């Protein structure tokens, strides 16, 4: 009986210690630098987003935030690296639609599971999509574009930032809604596709505002419609797809922060609080908007629900059109 009593006492003591340690760990987090993985090369929109918020986050938590660019595999390399990292809150990932929504439908075999291996922290920002054509095009509006494509018997090419990218799938959504026949020309990134659009090698593309801002302000490309619920403040004269009769054409590159799936809930909550505070600093907020990003900063639950809804919507489109990257 004494032995049993002793073991029970030890068990109770260990349980009590665990309960005491959990809040202490949460309060002391973070006590070292955070590694923020970006699945794209330095210099792009996702990189800008992470570095801008990362600098503000570093000031918020009084620890360094190290940006680690790991491009490749349609973001799968960075996602797999994050999934295998210690679940302690010190490794996080910038994850976009491809990482968390599209890849699991585009590939039969994936090196990570976006639902089982990665935990939502917060949606950082939206990159609104815009349908654009060459500035010398005689097309004046979305109606004219649809008429032109339908009369061209499939001879119109459209560019994208890559097969399976938000830009690609946004155009496929529009093609489906408007019953259009166009040929996809994938590029390695938005910049080269925009250059070819401006040069007339492709006739149209969906581009996010952040990537296309320089081409738009320079008059090299012409915007026809924005795939968002409201008009963009930066392009007040450009109508939404809904205004032009296509209410289902809403699309954006959604970039959020995720962590390894087994990261404790209190650490996720701590990360969320710090990241959202960093994002909402007036200077940071202003810088993101000026770059063409719509800052968000929501709860892990809200971000998780959004991802769930997005999978339902986009997986159906991908399967209906039989789009695969295998």
Task: Please tell me whether residues 193 and 172 are part of one structural domain.
Answer: yes
Residue 41 lies in a domain: yes
The distance between the two most distant Cα atoms of the chain, rounded to a whole number of Å, is 92
Residue 197 lies in a domain: yes
What is the reported pLDDT for 8?
47
Contact 204, 133 (CB under 8 A): yes
> Which tens digits make up the pLDDT trace of 96-109?
999 999 999 999 99
What is the reported pLDDT for 6?
42
Residue 219 lies in a domain: yes
Which sign, positive or negative, has the C-alpha torsion 67, 72, 275, 292?
positive
Query: Which residues, including other chains, have CB under 8 Å from residue 159's CB and lie 6 or more apart?
Result: 185, 186, 187, 193, 194, 196, 197, 201, 202, 204, 205
Task: Give 3's pLDDT tier (boundaries 50, 70, 90).
Answer: very low
**Which residue, 74, 73, 72, 82, is CA-closest to 37?**
82
Q: What is the CATH number of the domain that holds 72?
A: 3.40.190.150
Task: Please tell me whether residues 38 and 116 are part of one structural domain.
Answer: yes
Residue 243 lies in a domain: no
Residue 9 lies in a domain: no
In the three-class reduction of DSSP (H, G, I as helix; E, B as strand; rest coil), residue 247 is classed as coil
> Which tens digits make up the pLDDT trace of 217-248?
999 999 999 999 999 989 999 999 999 999 99
Rounded Cα gap, residues 232 and 228, in angstroms: 8
Contact 150, 304 (CB under 8 A): no
Task: Give 26's pLDDT tier (boundaries 50, 70, 90).
Answer: low
The percent of residues in the chain predicted with pLDDT above 90, rounded, is 79
What is the reported pLDDT for 27?
61
Task: Please tell me whether residues 289 and 305 are part of one structural domain.
Answer: yes
Instruction: Identify the residue whose tokens are 């200077």.
Output: 283
Residue 231 lies in a domain: no
Domain that holds residue 295: 32-126+254-320
pTM: 0.86
Using the predicted structure, report yes or no on whether residue 2 has a pLDDT greater than 90.
Answer: no
Average pLDDT, the chain: 91
The percent of residues in the chain predicted with pLDDT above 70, rounded, is 92
Q: What is the CATH number of the domain that holds 189?
A: 3.40.190.10
Task: Please tell me whether residues 161 and 189 are part of one structural domain.
Answer: yes
Task: Give 7's pLDDT tier (boundaries 50, 70, 90).
Answer: very low
> Which tens digits make up the pLDDT trace of 163-192?
899 999 999 999 999 999 999 999 888 889
Task: Report the domain count for the chain.
Answer: 2
Please give the residue that has the higher pLDDT: either 97 or 2. 97
Pairing of strands 65-69, 34-38: parallel
Instruction: Identify the residue whose tokens are 């770059």.
Output: 291
């Amino acid at each position: 009986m004494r032995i049993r009593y002793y073991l029970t006492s030890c068990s109770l003591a260990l349980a009590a210690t665990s309960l005491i340690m959990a809040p202490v760990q949460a309060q002391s987090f973070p006590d070292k630098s955070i590694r923020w993985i970006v699945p794209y090369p330095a210099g792009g929109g996702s990189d800008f987003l992470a570095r801008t918020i990362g600098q503000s986050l570093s000031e918020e938590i009084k620890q360094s935030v190290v940006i680690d660019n790991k491009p490749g595999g349609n973001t799968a390399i960075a996602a797999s690296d994050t999934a295998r990292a210690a679940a302690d809150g010190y490794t996080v990932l910038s994850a976009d639609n491809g990482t968390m929504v599209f890849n699991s439908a585009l590939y039969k075999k994936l090196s990570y599971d976006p639902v089982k291996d990665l935990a939502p922290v917060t949606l950082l920002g939206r990159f609104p999509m815009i349908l654009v054509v060459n500035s010398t095009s005689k097309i004046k509006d979305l109606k004219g574009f649809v008429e032109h494509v339908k009369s061209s018997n499939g001879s119109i090419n459209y560019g994208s930032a890559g097969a399976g990218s938000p830009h690609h799938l946004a155009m496929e959504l529009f093609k489906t809604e408007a019953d259009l026949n166009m040929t996809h020309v994938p590029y390695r990134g938005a910049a080269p596709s925009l250059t070819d659009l401006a040069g007339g090698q492709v006739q149209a593309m969906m581009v996010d505002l952040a990537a296309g801002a320089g081409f738009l302000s320079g008059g090299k490309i012409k915007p026809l419609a924005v795939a968002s619920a409201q008009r963009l403040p930066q392009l007040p004269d450009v109508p939404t797809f809904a205004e032009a009769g296509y209410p289902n054409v809403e699309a954006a590159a959604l970039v959020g922060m995720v962590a390894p799936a087994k990261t404790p809930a209190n650490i996720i909550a701590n990360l969320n609080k710090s990241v959202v505070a960093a994002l909402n600093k007036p200077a940071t907020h202003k810088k993101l908007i000026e770059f063409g990003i719509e800052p968000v900063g929501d709860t892990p639950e809200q971000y998780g629900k959004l991802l769930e809804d997005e999978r339902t919507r986009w997986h159906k489109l991908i399967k209906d059109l039989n789009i695969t990257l295998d």
